[in-house]
Structure 1
Amino acid sequence: MTRLFNEPSAFADEMIEGFVASHGRWVRRVPGGVARSTRSTPGSVALVIGGGSGHYPAFAGLVGQGLAHGAAMGNLFASPSAQQVYNVAKAADNGGGILLGYGNYAGDVLHFTQAQDKLRAEGIDCRSIAVTDDISSAPLAEKHKRRGIAGDLTVFKVAAAAAEAGYPLDAVVGIAERANERTRSFGVAFTGCTLPGAPEPLFTVPAGRMAVGMGIHGEPGIGETGIPTADELAELLVKDLLAEVPDGLQIQGARVVPILNGLGSVKYEELFVLYRRVAQLLAEAGIIAVDPQVGELVTSFDMAGTSLTLFWLDPELEQLWLAPADAPAFRRGAVTAEALDADELTAAAEQLTVIPDASDESKASATAVLAALHAAKAVIDANVAELGRIDAIAGDGDHGIGMERGIHAATAAAADAVERGAGAGTVLELAADAWADKAGGTSGALWGMALRAVGHAVGNTERPTAQAVAAGVAEAKRSIMDFGKAKVGDKTLVDVLAPFSDALTAAVTDGSRLRDAWGTAAAVAEQAAEATATLLPLMGRARPHAEKSLGTPDAGAVSMALIIRAIHNTLTDTTVTTLLKENA
């Protein structure tokens, strides 16, 4: 279990603060994560990596000369927001283009893609590589669906070395893609992990059993078995990895980097016992082991488990893998680095957001928006534990915590914006940015998109009408379904958002006032949330847990229905409704 913490909600920020304080020779704090504190070559490609916190040395431990230029650091087990990724990328940019690298998880894909789009809109050439090394998470025919685990290291290391050597962006991307295609990993776990302040682990493995193929957030693999001896486990890992050799390669005579990774609680001495047999098996197969790595490289807090990665080299990849690097958690060879000066170290300080002009009517309506957010905050605070419990059945159990972080940040941002004279549209848009930034994960991205869509629809010139609000909700539905690719029936928040939006639009079109139309649609949302209990999840981390989730509603659908009803309660308050322009 995690023993040392203050406020659980502050753990990630305090961890980053301590990491930077103890590793200032390599990194500096920037909004959203860390960047090199040393000078990079002007005009070179910048590699920006990232993901949720809780996996150290990934990702911040890999920032330094010869490795990444920056790391976007999300909350615990939650992807960094698009704004965090963007901020880190801007701080790391050397003028030669940016490559974003991350594990293939839904939240990471959403946020890094949004950041990529924003960087491209500014004229910065930006590409992405999603690592897909975990063979247990999808069959070879669906390799694009596989998770990224300890294979992150091989892809990031060679891509970074190529960037350091002056390769142009196209070539760096090609190296990263080739490394990803030549990297295979397989892991097991003996116990789950416990987040700071949590009373119990996110997931459990039955006593005396071993989960085979489990992911680094507790995602299931291909089953369970009794705990083997170290030699038996080595034979299992090597056998399964050698059953899937990258296209065009032969086992006999192949040069391979083996990486035996500890997930948090397996001691180094145990890993050495295990690697002893791994090395024997690789040699017996005719494989030449190049620069073996044994230790903690991609962890999962205090999870007891291990994974084996095989990185199949060619001459260029081997040269890049062996190139010098100097990062807090990965060092080899001699690297010459020049520290940034004091002004450069503080150049990425956050700046106060400028508040656009707004009409008096819109400023008055911003108070109603803030009241709705406060109501949403209260209902999430009251249900955070239950949302976590529901999510733990089919996912990783962090939905309640993520929603709590998101709505708290959104409400604080909205209150500040109202205090500074913002209109309703701006209040919603700043709340959206804060929610996505602090919540992270897939739900953070989607709620950010939803609030932003409604904010754009209501604008800053008039009091929000029922038609404008309904149009904003409809746009939120469209953009979320387009971007997240979920549809009704996939057991996600879309199963609530879509029927709610349709019912709201229909009621407003029929002439209902906003509060009445919202109330009718809220009842539809609640029924839709309950109905998700009968569905099998087809998206995100819950997908592999499909059978376990039957009989339990989707956590994202439930939280959306709770917030919709809480907002309706503010609309029935005459103090609030006088601030909104109702239909006759």
Structure 2
Amino acid sequence: MLSLRALNYRGIQLTHPLFLFIFHFNEIAMNRIINDPDQVVEEAIKGYLAAYPHFFAKTAHEKVLKYPEIPLQGKVGVVTGGGSGHEPAFLGYIGKNMLDAVAVGEIFSSPAAGAFLEAFKVADGGAGVACLYGNYAGDNMNVKMAAKKAEAMGIRVRTVVANDDVASAPPSEREKRRGVAGEIFMWKVGAAAASQGYALDNVIEVAQKAIDHCRSIGVGLTSCTIPAVGKPNFSIEDGMMEVGIGHHGEPGIRVESLQNAHQMAKTMVDLVVADRPFSQGDEVAVLISGLGATPTIELYIYYAEVAKLLEAQGITIYRPYIGNYFTSLDMMGVTLTLMKLDDELKSLIDVPTHSLGLTQLE
């Protein structure tokens, strides 16, 4: 049954059958555990703080959280920021030997410049701040504005911009590529380096190396629904898949018939390996992330196929990560990220870490 609110939307009487159908469709599509679709981010932050006070502490900005044990004098601060809706990214990677502070925006929207500035301020222990973030127009603009203000306050800020998504631009235009799940490896390496006493310039250097060694690709099977919008923000027909889809639903490189796990893995591995290019004898870290609605059992089926394909090419998996690491609300699909390793990257990827999104004991 339609609720009374369907008859009056922002003071406008909506009694035409077409409007009633639209509202009825949205009520069906929006079965969500929320209070107010316009307050999803703010209320989720309250949940983070209530559940995990050992990971999260408030700051002067409502959309910036920090690790309670920072700042540490003499340690480089490591921060990031991005739109909400990708949980556990971004807040979930605050923790021990991980991110020190994170700024978040509304669903799929960049954090404000003021939020990035607050993250820089709370993370600074006198050794400067490394801001490691994804290549999106709003993030680029707001980070630059915040960094300029931070520098005027005596806080040295340097940045690394992730651009690991092979589907978003050709190799000759890597600077235009989006940052996707490879950001997690960039954060892991950069934060580990900071925890080991690296100076700011060296943290930046190794974080840049990490993302330069990463390549990622995603496949989407369904759309996702932004709570404040109340309907899918694009469509993928049943029995089809979109290769190269972005985490916000950005168009991929092609739409084709749904493949089984083996065929899908081959499609994605071939695109990633050809772009780096990875080669026989390489050691890699592999990250496989669901996009929010993909059952974990299917991720492991997919990983088994990826492992076989890499082994057949003489590429050794040094560390695998399988789970929901960088999602897109309720989208069904998967992303694949490979990071080529050298001795330094292996030593840093091995550093134990403890965060909501990633815990590694050894």
Q: State the TM-score, normalizing by the size of structure 2.
A: 0.89
Contact 2:70 2:100 survives alignment (8 Å): no
Question: Which among 42, 46, 56 is matched to residue 17 of structure 1?
Answer: 46
Selected match of 1:307 from 327, 335, 342: 335
Of 230, 234, 237 in structure 2, the residue corresponding to residue 199 of structure 1 is: 230
Match of 1:179 among 198, 203, 210: 210
Q: Distance in 2 between matches of 1:162 and 1:326?
A: 15
- Secondary structure of 1:243 counterpart: helix
- Structure 1 runs of 4+ aligned residues shifted over 3 Å read none
Alpha-carbon distance in structure 2 between the residues aligned to 1:91 and 1:181:
28
For 1:263, the equivalent position in structure 2 comes to 291
Query: Equivalents in 2 of 1:146, 1:283: separation in Å?
Result: 28
* Aligned residue runs from structure 1 range 280-429, under 5 A: 280-333=308-361
Q: Percent identity?
A: 38
Give the Å deviation of 1:23. 1.2
Aligned to 2:78: 47
Q: Which moved more, 1:165-174 or 1:194-203?
A: 194-203
Whichever residue aligns with residue 240 of structure 1, its letter is L
Pair 1:168-2:199 in alignment: yes
Classify the secondary structure of the residue corresponding to 1:167: coil
Q: Distance in 2 between matches of 1:197 and 1:120?
A: 36
Deviation at 1:177, TM superposition (A): 0.8
- Aligned equivalents of 1:299 and 1:112: distance in 2? 23
Q: Aligned-pair distance for 1:211? A: 0.7
**Aligned mate of 2:94, from 63, 78, 84:** 63
Query: Does structure 1 retain, via aligned residues, the 8 Å contact 2:71–2:122?
Result: no
Whichever residue aligns with residue 98 of structure 2, its letter is: L
Deviation string for 1:422-468 (max 9, x for gaps)?
A: xxxxxxxxxxxxxxxxxxxxxxxxxxxxxxxxxxxxxxxxxxxxxxx
- Displacement of 1:33 in angstroms is 1.5
Aligned residues: 331
The partner residue of 1:148 within 179, 183, 192 is: 179
- Residue number in structure 1 paired with 2:7: none
- 1:230 match: 261
Which SS does the other structure have where 1:25 is aligned? Answer: coil
Unpaired segments of 5 or more residues in structure 1?
Answer: 335-584
Structure 2: which amino acid aligns with 1:277? E
Tell me what 1:7 maps to. 36
Q: Distance in 2 between matches of 1:321 and 1:192?
A: 33
The amino acid that maps onto 1:165 is Q
CA shift for structure 1 position 332: 1.3
Q: Which residue number in structure 2 is paired with residue 279 of structure 1?
A: 307
Aligned-residue RMSD, C-alpha:
1.2
Alpha-carbon contact 1:208-1:227 (below 8 Å) kept = yes
Residue aligned with 1:172, SS: helix
Q: How far has the Cα of 1:260 moved from its partner?
A: 0.9
Residue-by-residue CA offset, 1:219-244 (whole Å, 9 max, x unaligned) = 01111000000110011111111111
8 Å CA contact retained: 2:130, 2:204: yes
Is residue 26 from structure 1 mapped to residue 55 from structure 2 by the alignment? yes
Partner of 2:153: 122
Asked if 2 retains the 8 angstrom alpha-carbon contact of 1:131 and 1:152, the reply is yes
1:394 maps to which residue? none
Q: Distance in 2 between matches of 1:190 and 1:109?
A: 29
**2:350 alignment partner AA:** L
Shift of 1:245: 2.2
After TM superposition, give the deviation of residue 40 of structure 1 in Å. 4.9
Q: Which residue of 1 aligns with 2:125?
A: 94
2:270 equivalent to 1:239 = yes
| Per-residue deviation, 1:198 | 2.9
C-alpha contact (below 8 Å) 2:78/2:101 kept by paired residues: yes
User: Displacement of 1:270 after TM fit?
Assistant: 0.4
The amino acid of 1:263's aligned partner reads L
Q: Secondary structure at the match of 1:292?
A: strand
- Relative to structure 1, the CA distance from residue 266 to residue 55 in structure 2 (aligned partners, 3 Å threshold; closer, same or farther) is same
User: 1:115, CA displacement in angstroms?
Assistant: 0.6
Aligned to 1:497: none
Distance 1:199 1:311 in 2: 36
Aligned to 1:345: none
In structure 2, C-alpha distance between the alignment counterparts of 1:19 and 1:208, rounded to whole Å? 37
Higher helix share: 1
1:36 and 2:104 equivalent? Answer: no
Partner residue, 1:218 = 249
Post-superposition CA distance 1:479-501 (Å, at most 9, x none): xxxxxxxxxxxxxxxxxxxxxxx
Check whether the contact 1:27–1:38 (CA below 8 A) recurs between aligned residues.
no
Amino acid at match of 1:69: D
Partner Cα distance (1:40, 1:64) in 2: 12
Distance in 1 separating the partners of 2:152 and 2:235: 44
Superimposed CA distance per residue, residues 509-545 of structure 1 (whole angstroms, 9 cap, x where no aligned partner): xxxxxxxxxxxxxxxxxxxxxxxxxxxxxxxxxxxxx
- Three-state SS of the structure 2 residue aligned to 1:265 is coil
How far apart in 2 are the matches of 1:163 and 1:331?
Answer: 17
| Contact 1:260-1:271 within 8 A present in 2 as well | yes
Q: Which residue of 2 aligns with 1:208?
A: 239
